[in-house]
Chains A and B, each alone.
Chain A
Amino acid sequence: MNTRLLMTMQVNVGTAQNIGAVPYGTRRTAPISGGTFEGPRLRGTVLQAGSADWLLLRSDGVLELDLRCTLRTDDGALISMGSFGLRHGPPDVIAAIGRGESVDASMYYFRTLPRFVTAHQAYAFLNRLVAVASGERRPQGPIYTIHEVL
């Protein structure tokens, strides 16, 4: 599988909204308070409004991530991004992340599949690509390294 770097994106998360036990697991919503993204072909900021990660901790211990965020490029284009992801690992590692500790990203699985929608012609290529990202959870919020699937 050939990929190339699309961008790195770091977001900061605000206070989680703990929805609690729902039929398929435990649901928590993590509002995004802002962030930045940068790559060879695009860079800009992650808007706070309308951006969050909807998290579902499944009964098998896997965390499903359903991210939606709005990106604004440095030349003013709006890009809607969504991604589905999975995060899981050994219980002690996941517990350390939960306590807000810094954990080496190689200790757990944190991958997402971003999709993009934009009406801006300069970024129309984003509408037509599939991407894959590796994530790293920091106490203040995740960093994603996003690659285009060629």
Chain B
Amino acid sequence: MSDPIKFRPLMVLRLETAAWQEFGSTPQGALTIVPVVGGSFAGDRLRGKVLAGGGDWIMADANGTFSLDLRITLETDDGALIHMTFGGVRDDANHYLRTTPRFETAASQYAFLNRLLAIGIGEIRAEGPVHVIEEVL
């Protein structure tokens, strides 16, 4: 018997997206790029806004499952920049949208982000994607 892995809330990330760019079928699958033009994030340990310039590179496989590949820049309310990426799976048939975010920052007060793994539960809402992200303890 194994102990379940424990988690701790990290942030809720809300993304503002621009018009999807549909590329159609590429050799790897059907590609859609969802540009991220803004947003916000908030948690006990960090909060701030999402800078424009990022996006999610989404590849659909033949079974209608999507592979996510997001990269964005976060700016905290005290001025630190955080490079954030995630891979993930979106399977609409099973209402499943899970991501594995990673963070990189040079700001010492957020260096803990460089040392953790995280899991996100995503939801596509009318106002845009919302990801509830928890640290893997």
**Residues of chain A at the chain B interface (Cβ within 8 Å):** 1, 3, 5, 8, 60, 62, 84-86, 88, 109, 111-113, 115, 124, 127-130, 132-134, 145, 147, 149
Contacts and interface: CB of A to CB of B under 8 A. Distances in A.
Contacts of A147: 4-5
B91 A113 contact: no
Interface of B: 2-5, 7, 61, 63, 65, 87-89, 91, 94, 96, 98-100, 102, 111, 114-117, 119, 121, 134, 136
A149 B100 CA distance: 10
A141 B134 CA distance: 28
Given A1-B7, A3-B4, A130 B114 contact: no
Nearest to B9: A1
The 3 closest A-B pairs by CB, nearest first: A130-B98, A145-B2, A1-B7
Contacts of B5: 3, 111, 132-134, 145, 147
Given A127-B65, A130-B98, 4 more contacts: A111-B136, A128-B91, A132-B5, A145-B5
A122 to B, nearest CB: 15
Given A1-B7, A149-B98, A129 B115 contact: no
B94 A128 contact: yes
A147 B99 CA distance: 14
A43 to B, nearest CB: 15
A2 B119 CA distance: 11
Contacts of B102: 84
Contact of A113 (B65, B96, B100, B111): B100
B111 A129 contact: no
A108 B71 CA distance: 29
B98 A62 contact: no
Given A3-B4, A60-B111, A86 B121 contact: no
Nearest to A115: B87
28 contacts: A1-B119, A1-B134, A3-B4, A5-B2, A60-B111, A62-B115, A84-B102, A86-B115, A86-B116, A88-B115, A111-B117, A113-B117, A124-B63, A127-B61, A127-B63, A128-B65, A129-B89, A130-B100, A132-B5, A132-B117, A132-B119, A132-B136, A134-B2, A134-B3, A145-B2, A145-B5, A147-B4, A149-B119
